[in-house]
């Protein structure tokens, strides 16, 4: 995997690999931190080679209305930059909740297997 650039904190990391952005959550984040992640994500999805986003959620945080709003905004922002495919790696209830907040124009792939998501993203 070719890593282009990225950012990270104690609870998350963000980078571009091949044709997709990858955000991995390893701990709970606040709604404000979610907004900051979207800001860090914006320049990465501006790369013409990026058409897919992979979201790996390995955290137990509960989604509130602000989190759902941020997901909806991220989905629309991605579409505005040509990112119209999202792979979501999480427990089933989380994948359903995240997928329900994305615009209908986004093709989603839900799984509990990171490698499956990476393979799908590269197609």
Q: How is residue 106 annotated by DSSP?
A: S
3-state helix, strand, coil in the chain (%, to 5): 40, 30, 30
Residues of the chain whose pLDDT is less than 50? Answer: 1-4
CA angle 123, 63, 95 (to 5 degrees): 30
Confidence at residue 9, expressed as pLDDT on a 0 to 100 scale: 72
Name the β-bridge partners of 14. 7, 23
The domains of the chain are located at 3-122
pTM above 0.85, yes or no: yes
Confidence at residue 7, expressed as pLDDT on a 0 to 100 scale: 64
The CATH homologous superfamily of the domain defined by 3-122? STAS domain (3.30.750.24)
Name the β-bridge partners of 21. 16, 53
State phi, psi for 28 to the nearest 5 degrees.
-70, 145
């Amino acid at each position: 995997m070719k890593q282009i650039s990225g950012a990270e904190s104690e609870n998350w990391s963000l980078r571009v690999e091949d044709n997709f952005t990858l955000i991995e959550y390893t701990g709970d984040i606040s709604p404000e931190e979610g907004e900051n992640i979207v800001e860090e994500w914006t320049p990465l999805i501006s790369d013409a080679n990026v058409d897919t986003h992979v979201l790996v959620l390995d955290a137990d945080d509960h989604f509130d209305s602000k989190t759902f709003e941020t997901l909806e905004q991220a989905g629309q922002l991605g579409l505005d930059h040509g990112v119209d495919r999202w792979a979501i790696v999480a427990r089933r209830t989380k994948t359903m909740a995240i997928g329900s907040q994305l615009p209908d124009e986004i093709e989603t792939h839900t799984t509990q297997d990171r490698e499956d998501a990476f393979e799908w993203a590269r197609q």
